[in-house]
Amino acid sequence: MINIKPILNIKIFSKNNLIWFLLASFFTVSLYFLRKGGVTYDELGYRFGAKIIIQTFQSIINFDFTLARSYYSDLEYYGQLLLMPAYLLSHFMSTYLFRDLDTYFINFFSYDDKYYFFSHVFLIAYITVLLFFIYKLIKQQRNIQFALLFITFLILVPSFNGHSLFNFKDIPFALHFFIVILYIDKYFIKINESKNINKKEIFLFGLIFGALLNIRINSIPFIGLFILFYLPKILEHKKLKEYLILYFQVGLIGLSFLILLTPSMWIEPVSWWKLAIENQFLLKWPGSTLVNGEFIVATEMTYSYLLKFFLYKLPINFIILIFSFFPLMFLFQNINDFAKKCFYLIISVNILFIIFKPTAYDGIRQYLFLILPIIYISIESILSIQNKKRIFNFLVATNLIYLLITQISLGPYKYTYFNEFVNEAAISESCESIDGCGDWATDYWGFSGKEIASYINKNLNEGFLLICRPDVSVKSYLDDEKTNFVYNNLKDKVDTTKLNYTTSDTTVLRDLEIKSFYMVTFHRPRLNENSCLIDPNIEPIFKSMKCEDIFINTISLRNKEINLSYLKYCNL
């Protein structure tokens, strides 16, 4: 007879096993949300950029340097660490393993649909692995309780779990950045305690730093800033020489890894560095961002931009915990030193932003890396009262319940989250303006395009459709059998038995003398333009355009409807 008693004694939710439950939940829920969410604004560029990098590699291997130079593109300055494997894996899965459009629980409408789905699955899997790596480092640095609370709170931050579904640059950057600063703290302690750091550890540290550089080289000043916080104690313990040797070795390995994954640097190193610095440090984006009803032009940045966005995008409990941490540093002597460094980093980045006012846009996407230090000091604030067990348990439970309730209705669109400081009723509304009205942009990445496309596939069979930017978010999911893409000035391509569409090209409407058409836009009010590039001064036919909403894709934020995207019917 089989003895099942040992099996029954296994504690599934013991502290050691809880991390697997958390990570499995994060991965499963994210995978579920991919059924609704689609491809976003930048992903066509990511796909094209990955292909260019791979072609450059191939050309150099074949000693065809002229061809390699012809592939040179500014798409190579960001994120190639993930873009290449995501491209190769997604292409392989879509072309060979899952050739049929109907695959298990998802009905794919096109090859692009499959490709982007598998690229997002790869991203979520990669993030899950990095979360486990961070858990192990924090567990080693602090204890298992702190590590579990950190991962739990992090995956419940809307700006983190929402962007994790599609953001190939900023979320991996945030995770790699935090891993690097955890390593900085780890080896600071080792050197101060005169412990040896073996070559394997140095090599791993260098690879992690190199991975960060392969996402963004502008991480260097932030890493340098964080190291400066340790300088007083480094000098106090007279260990400067040891640190210089360590960081020289780590920097050399990291730089080598960057060069290895950047083929254009092999043939045009000076040009690559010059243009990479221009793109990552000196970029002048001409657009604007809507912040609580005010348009802020990226090149005319205000000192309060970053503070405002964190004030409105962070769940309120973290804002309270951040402000609580400041007096705790003076009241309690046992406040963790790394937590203090995280606090200094947050304050320093905000001060530097106020001083230099760098180009910023799309909310806090470039500053999502600050979320992890914010979570760290938030956990430290809560743990400062862990000796008072009832109050501690109440605080943890209250924070977790609040985080769940405040975002639960957002589904896959949690990146659009705003906290209770925002007037929910004023966030968005449909109006005569093509891209909507209100105090905020909501789906500025175009993640809801798949749902708009699903509505079109089910309800529209003929007519003409204008898909505004980002058009890739919609056209990737249109049913190939029911729709027909119309190119500029190609009247013979029009099939009246199908729904014909074009993307952000209004000249087609003029050339084909179309008077009535459908139009897809996303809720992103703009200052001096619109997502369809419609300018009545250039094309007078649009001066009399009138549109009505056929379908509005909405979500609920604390029982208030928020608009994400629109399908309109327009007459000229």
Per-residue pLDDT reduced to its tens digit, 27-69: 999 999 998 999 998 898 889 888 888 888 888 888 887 777 7
Examine residue 216 and state whether it is found in any structural domain, yes or no. yes
Same domain, 403 and 431: no
Examine residue 225 and state whether it is found in any structural domain, yes or no. yes
Examine residue 12 and state whether it is found in any structural domain, yes or no. no
Amino acid letter for position 32: Y
How does the average pLDDT of the chain come out, rounded?
90
Which of 407, 434, 459 represents a domain boundary (last residue)?
Answer: 407
Q: Of 526, 521, 527, which is closest to residue 565 (Cα–Cα)?
A: 521
Over 214-275, what HEC string results? CCCCCHHHHHHHHHHCCHHHHHHCCCHHHHHHHHHHHHHHHHHHHHHCCHHHHHCHHHHHHH
Same domain, 161 and 28: yes
Same domain, 98 and 213: yes
Examine residue 321 and state whether it is found in any structural domain, yes or no. yes
Same domain, 395 and 452: no
Instruction: Please identify which residue in the block is written with the tokens 């980045």.
Output: 349
Same domain, 211 and 339: yes
Q: Average pLDDT, stretch 520-548?
A: 90
Which of 362, 380, 407 represents a domain boundary (last residue)?
Answer: 407
Q: Cα 459–465–467 angle (5° rounding)?
A: 110
Same domain, 389 and 311: yes
Same domain, 120 and 25: yes
69: domain range? 18-407
CB-based contact 443:454 (threshold 8 Å): no
CB-based contact 129:376 (threshold 8 Å): no
In angstroms, the CA 107 to CA 112 distance is 13
In angstroms, the CA 265 to CA 259 distance is 6
Examine residue 437 and state whether it is found in any structural domain, yes or no. yes
pLDDT score for 422: 96
pLDDT score for 104: 54
Residue 168's pLDDT band (boundaries 50, 70, 90)?
very high
Q: Of 295, 543, 554, which is closest to residue 439 (Cα–Cα)?
A: 295
Q: Which two tokens stand for residue 351?
A: 């001060």
For the chain, give the percent of residues with pLDDT over 70: 94
In angstroms, the CA 292 to CA 202 distance is 46
Examine residue 11 and state whether it is found in any structural domain, yes or no. no
Q: Average pLDDT, stretch 492-508?
A: 80
Examine residue 7 and state whether it is found in any structural domain, yes or no. no
In angstroms, the CA 329 to CA 337 distance is 10
In angstroms, the CA 476 to CA 473 distance is 6
pLDDT score for 5: 46
Same domain, 288 and 359: yes
The alpha carbon dihedral of 71, 77, 80, 83 has a sign of negative
Same domain, 377 and 430: no
Examine residue 180 and state whether it is found in any structural domain, yes or no. yes
Q: Of 555, 252, 543, 293, which is closest to residue 409 (Cα–Cα)?
A: 555
Q: Average pLDDT, stretch 401-407?
A: 95
Same domain, 324 and 454: no
Q: Average pLDDT, stretch 93-100?
A: 76
Is the pLDDT score of 8 beyond 50? no
Q: Of 226, 126, 205, 136, which is closest to residue 172 (Cα–Cα)?
A: 126
In angstroms, the CA 197 to CA 369 distance is 27
CA atoms within a 13 Å half-sphere pointing along the CA-CB vector of 263: 26
Task: Report pLDDT digits (tens) over 215-253.
Answer: 999 999 999 999 999 999 999 888 899 999 999 999 999
Which of 407, 440, 466 represents a domain boundary (last residue)?
Answer: 407
Same domain, 352 and 445: no
Q: Specify the DSSP element, H or E, that contains 548.
A: strand 546-557
Q: Average pLDDT, stretch 368-372?
A: 98
Number of domains in the chain: 2
Length of the chain: 572
Same domain, 336 and 475: no
